[in-house]
Amino acid sequence: MAQYKYHSLPLFLALLIISVLATTGCGGVGAAFSTLPAPSSAPTASPTPSATASPTPSPRPSPSPAPSASPSPRPSPSPAPSPLPSPSPTPTPSPGQLGVNPSSVNFGNVAVGSSLSRTASLTASVSNVRVSSASWNGLGYSVSGITFPVTVAAGKSVSFTVTFAPQTSGSSPGSVSFVSNASNSPTTETLVGTGIQPAQHSVSLSWSPSTSVVTGYNVYRGTQSGGPYTQINTSLQPGTSYSDTSVQSGLAYFYVVTAVDANSQESAYSNETTALIPAP
């Protein structure tokens, strides 16, 4: 608590003033004291110095209590802002699948010196496929009808041709592989074929002799009915028969004959006959 002390200086001054008033011979002041009537009943009381000369000082107001030292509650921290969601990454398209149709080609028997072709196709699923190259193996095989690089659109197809042209007799396994950006690259088509020696086919022709005097006959052959025809004998045929040994398996031939007299005059074509050469 705060401590208060009474100081003697104010009391001393008050007593000094009262003493001067009581002893001064000033008439004005003395008259003022003599004219005051004394109370009739109660004796005159000497003024109590403490009551008149030393008034009790007013107590100083108590100081306001110091504010409590308890700390004010801190405001709750604001919650941290939620992080912004990361942008979704752009999905990577799934790699496509490359297919080849058919997956296997069987050429069967093919005569040596001839060729046989088959058509196949590349297909794409899931997404577009870029085919950069193709390679093949096996005797007598080749690929054509397609240029690289080539893009096969999803759900679409690109065709190509595989040819087998055996140069020797016997089975000839092979394959063709396509390199691409597909998940199943390389994509392979298997090939198989057999080369055989061509059969020695021949066509034996015979006709009725001319009623005129002739020196011989010419033999003509074509690959379609009605011509055009090409002469196949190298010299006049004196008789009425001829053997054609230059035919190929699986083809059809059309024949006519003319008669030639001594003056090298040639008759019109005879009636046409047809020969079908079996396949090997």
Average pLDDT over residues 143-161: 96
Query: Domain extents for the chain?
Result: 97-196, 203-276
d(CA 203, CA 226): 19
Question: Strands, DSSP E only, in 55-167?
Answer: 97-101, 104-111, 116-125, 129-137, 141-144, 150-152, 157-164
Q: Which fold has domain 97-196?
A: Immunoglobulin-like (2.60.40)
Pick the more confident residue, 89 or 201.
Answer: 201
- Can you name the residues that pair with 100 across neighbouring β-strands? 122
Residues 178, 134: contact at Cβ < 8 Å? Answer: yes
Sequence letter at residue 234: T
Q: Are 248 and 277 in contact (CB under 8 A)?
A: yes
The reply to whether 97-196 and 203-276 are identical in fold is yes
What residues contact residue 187 under an 8 Å CB cut-off, 6+ apart?
A: 98, 99, 100, 122, 177, 178, 180
* Residue at token pair 């699923």: 125
Q: pLDDT grade, residue 72 (50/70/90)?
A: low
Rounded-to-integer distance, Cα 105 and Cα 175, Å:
9
CATH number of 203-276: 2.60.40.10
Sequence-separated (6 or more) residues with CB below 8 Å from residue 51: none
pLDDT surpasses 50 at 106 = yes
| Distance (Å, whole) CA 280 – CA 220 | 25
Which of 209, 246, 216, 250 lies closest to 230, judged by CA?
Answer: 246
Q: Is the pTM of this model over 0.95?
A: no
Instruction: List pLDDT tens digits, range 243-272.
Output: 999 998 889 999 999 999 999 999 999 999
Residue for token pair 């003033």 = 17
The pair of structure tokens assigned to 108 is: 């069967």
Percent of the chain with pLDDT over 90: 60
Q: Any idea what DSSP says for residue 249?
A: T
Whole-angstrom distance, CA of residue 93 vs CA of residue 125 = 12
pLDDT tier for residue 61 given thresholds of 50, 70 and 90: low
Mean pLDDT of the chain: 80
pLDDT range class, residue 111, cuts 50, 70, 90 = confident
When pLDDT is cut at 50, 70 and 90, the band that residue 13 belongs to is very low
Q: Are 205 and 254 in contact (CB under 8 A)?
A: no
Judge whether residue 64 has pLDDT over 70: no
